[in-house]
Structures are given as C-alpha cells and as structure tokens.
Amino acid sequence: MIHKDKERIIVAEFHKKIKEAFEVFDHESNNTVDVREIGTIIRSLGCCPTEGELHDLIAEVEEEEPTGYIRFEKFLPVMTEILLERRYRPIPEDVLLRAFEVLDSAKRGFLTKDELIKYMTEEGEPFSQEEMEEMLSAAIDPESNSIHYKDYITMMVIDEN
C-alpha cells in the first residue's frame, strides 16, 4: 500500500515536470509541439536516447496519420514510463572520457580537428554539418587545431551544473 502511494506521488511529480518541459515548446499554447522539438524536450528531462531510439519514440507518440505535431496527451504516458524505468540514462563522465581515449589510439591526450570530423561525420550516427560546426566552435583549440578532450569534458561538465 505504501509503495503504491509513493509511486503515485512520484508519478504526479513526473507529470508536472514533463508538462513544464513540454509547455516551454508549446508556442501556440494548444498542447502540441512540433515533432522536431521532441528530441530536445526528452533530452532536457535528463534522458539520452540515441537518434535511433529517438526515432522509435517519435513513432510511438505520433498520430496514426503524422501531422508534424505531437500532442501532450500521447507524449505524457510514454515519457512518464521512460522516467519511471530510468531509461536512456545520461553518459557518465568516465565513459565519455574512455570513448575519446579509444578514438585516440596513439594516446596523445588529444584528437586533431580532422580526426574528430572524420569520426563524428562518418561513424556511429553521423553529425550533420551544423552539428559538426557547433561542436568544433567550442571544442577546438585554435592554436593547435585539436581537441584536448579531457579539458573539454571538464568544461562541459561544469557548464551543465
């Protein structure tokens, strides 16, 4: 019984949190958001789905005949489940560091700009040109034309807190 009450409170809190995040993107105040913002909303709630996972989620919350808009009524239960199940947890700092180290096979402590571009635009779920430019603008040290990933990660982590 106690468990059920507690869960109800937790769910109620999640609902409010999800509603807040959703409303910020609901420009016309009619309980819908542009489907292109769904990724941003889900990520702003602390989850980190891959592009593939995001694609599947969108399919789940879309209308049978996609309208380009996602309704809150469809989004809420799906997002609540995600939060309850703690799905798509964010990448811990050390895992991120190890990922860079894997790409830095020579263990120099940095990746050159070209190497970064190659990995990010050719492997995994490739970046768009815009995404690549954005990441470069903050990550690349202009003098050495490389990314010192340990410092970069530290800076990003400070940003997020």
Partner 1 sequence: VPCSSSSLAVSLKAALIIQNWYRGYKARLKARQHYALTIFQSIEYADEQGQMQLSTFFSFMFENYAHVHKEELELRKQSLESEQDMRDRHDYVDLIDVPDSYNGPRLQFPLTCTDIDLLLEAFKEQQILHAHYVLEVLFETKKVLKQMPNFTHVQTSPSKELTICGDLHGKLDDLFMIFYKNGLPSENNPYVFNGDFVDRGKNSIEILMILCVSFLVYPNDLHLNRGNHEDFMMNLSSYFQLHGKRILQILEELYAWLPIGTIVDNEILVIHGGISETTDLNLLHHVERNKMKSVLIPPTETNRDYDTDSKHNKVGVTFNAHGRIKTNGSPIEHLPKHEWEQIIDILWSDPRGKNGCFPNTGRGGGCYFGPDVTSKILNKYQLKMLIRSHECKPEGYEICHDGKVVTIFSASNYYEEGSNRGAYIKLCSGTAPRFFQYQVTKATCFQPLRQRVYTMESSAIKILKERVISRKSDLTRAFQLQDHRKSGKLSLSQWAFCMENILGLNLPWRSLSSNLVNIDKNGNVEYMSSFQNIHIEKPVQEAHSTLVETLYRYRSDLEIIFNAIDTDHSGLISVEEFRAMWKLFSAHYNVLIDDSQVNKLANLMDLNKDGSIDFNEFLKAFYVVHRYEDLMKPGVTNLG
CB of 19 or CB of 78, closer to partner 1: 19
CB of 21 or CB of 57, closer to partner 1: 21
* 47 CA to centre of own chain: 6
**How far apart (Å, rounded) are the C-alpha atoms in residues 137 and 135?**
6
Q: Which of 29, 64, 85, 94 binds partner 1 (CB under 8 A)?
A: 29
| Binding region for partner 1 (CB under 8 A) out of 56-64, 70-78, 79-87, 129-137 | 129-137
Indicate whether 137 belongs to the interface with partner 1 (CB under 8 A).
yes
Residue entry with tokens 């808009």: 69
Residue entry with tokens 């603008």: 137
Side-chain-side CA neighbours of 13 within 13 Å: the count stands at 8
Q: Which of 88, 142, 99, 156 is nearest to 123 (CA)?
A: 99
| Binding region for partner 1 (CB under 8 A) out of 56-64, 74-82, 130-138 | 130-138
The set of residues, in sequence order, having a beta carbon less than 8 Å from that of 131 and lying 6+ positions away, is 120
Site of interaction with partner 1 (CB under 8 A): 12-13, 16-17, 20-21, 23-25, 27-30, 32, 39-44, 47-51, 90-91, 95-96, 98-100, 102-103, 119-120, 123-127, 131, 134-135, 137-138, 156, 159-160
